[in-house]
Amino acid sequence: MPSLKTIRALANDRRLAILGWLRDPVAHFPPQVDGDLLKDGVCGLLIAEKLGVSQPTASEHLKILTQAGLLRARRIRQWTFYRRDEAAIAAFKQALQREL
């Protein structure tokens, strides 16, 4: 059965936008000084800027996505970088298809 926590995380347009952007981070975000967009993920500050929200608001969205298992967070220096957990997303899709 699909996780209720994951379903709740996906029930928000901003979080869906973040997941969409992180599917192809090179197309949606500028190059970063620290961290590779593909290997390390996208800096939370860049995600906040693209969303047009404050850093704490973006952090809350990213925390919800991470706790739901849809994103992986990685610390580099004082920054946190986020990327999609493709295996977890695929497993969620399969679980959802089984239930429908």
What domains appear along the chain, each with residue ranges and CATH number? 4-89 (1.10.10.10)
Rounded Cα gap, residues 79 and 5, in angstroms: 26
For the record, the structure tokens of 30 come out as 């500028």
pLDDT of residue 99: 82
Segments in the chain below pLDDT 70: 1-2
pLDDT of residue 4: 86
pLDDT at residue 100, as a whole number: 81
Picking from 68, 76, 87, the residue whose alpha carbon sits closest to that of residue 18 is: 68
For 58-80, b/e burial (b = at least 16 CB within 10 A) is bbebbebbbebbbbbeeeeeebb
43: part of which helix (H) or strand (E)?
A: strand 42-43
DSSP 100: -
